Amino acid sequence: MNKMVLVNIDLHQADNGFIYKAAQIAQDTGASLELFCSCFNPALHNAYPFDEQAEHEGQRGYLHKVEAALEKMAEPLREEGLEVGTDLVWHRDPAEAVIRKAQRYMPDMVVHFFAADRVSWHLVRDCPFPLLLAGSNRWHEPMNIAAAVDPFHDCDHPAALDRRILDQVAHLGRAMLAKTHAVHSFHTLPHSAIFDEHVVTDYRALQRKVRTDHDQALEHLLDGYRLEEAEFKLHLLEGEPHQVLPRFVIEEQIDILVAGAVARGFLDRLLLGSTVERIIPKVDADVLVVKPAGFRSPYGEG
């Protein structure tokens, strides 16, 4: 990959403060910054149904204004010493446009302002590069970055994904002088759901065993990172991730929560949604979404 942070810009978004987060990441990691905007104006497109040349002229004029706006955003960042490029394209679908752009330039990270809209969810599901869904809230000093991991992975959540998540946290933690955390949530069956009377009589022992198993698995997962990569503060939470992680984020003042997203079938997504999609709207932190190695977007290689 190139050492680049690609920022998806929506000029209709009133608050672009998240750009400065992308700039901080680029500066701390020694990467360049690329401000990218996908443009499409339906009114302009429909204004010339029978005059293709006039439509093209209108497009050029519109793109020129957008280019000037991007350059205006880039100038103060350049004055801070950052290498900042700008790019734009005329495209109906902004999510597809930024994914295709990313596949051409292979950035370290794509940064997008999270708005719980179609574009955000499209990027969560289909962007093959680490995707930071950022808001305009300020980060703490020092920052807190947490890896949400699952040592008891199932067949569609390979252990390698946890290592990719930890790698991201370790890398950002070192570069940004941040405190690093690893969090894993689990749950046991409620007492009322157990029908075997022999199991019921020893329910508390069963709970302790489950917690011990998860604690040991989390410790084992982190063994290879403590000595060389980063010192992680470990957190073992009991409950569903989308229920316990929001509280954890507030209590530990987490600035970036790094979580994995795996491909699911349409029916699974329709019925359940992915864990990361349930977490994102509920946590008071920016979320960095990491895909498994080998993940391919539906847009090929760009």
The answer on pLDDT for 82 being more than 70 is: yes
What is the share, in percent, of the chain residues with pLDDT greater than 70?
79
Looking up tokens 């199932």 gives: 154
- Per-residue pLDDT tens over the stretch 196-229: 555 555 666 766 776 777 677 777 777 755 545 5
What does each C-alpha distance from 85 to 9, 26, 32, 74 come to in angstroms? 13, 12, 8, 7
Answer with the residue of higher pLDDT: 161 or 54: 161
The whole-number pLDDT of residue 6 equals: 98
The answer on pLDDT for 255 being more than 90 is: yes
The whole-number pLDDT of residue 269 equals: 43
Average pLDDT over all residues of the chain? 84
**Paired sense of beta strands 32-39 and 232-238, if any:** unpaired
pTM: 0.87
Instruction: Tell me which H or E stretch contains 169.
Output: helix 159-176
Q: Model confidence at 271, in pLDDT bands (50, 70, 90)?
A: very low
- Per-residue pLDDT tens over the stretch 146-195: 999 988 755 444 578 898 999 999 999 999 999 999 999 887 655 444 55
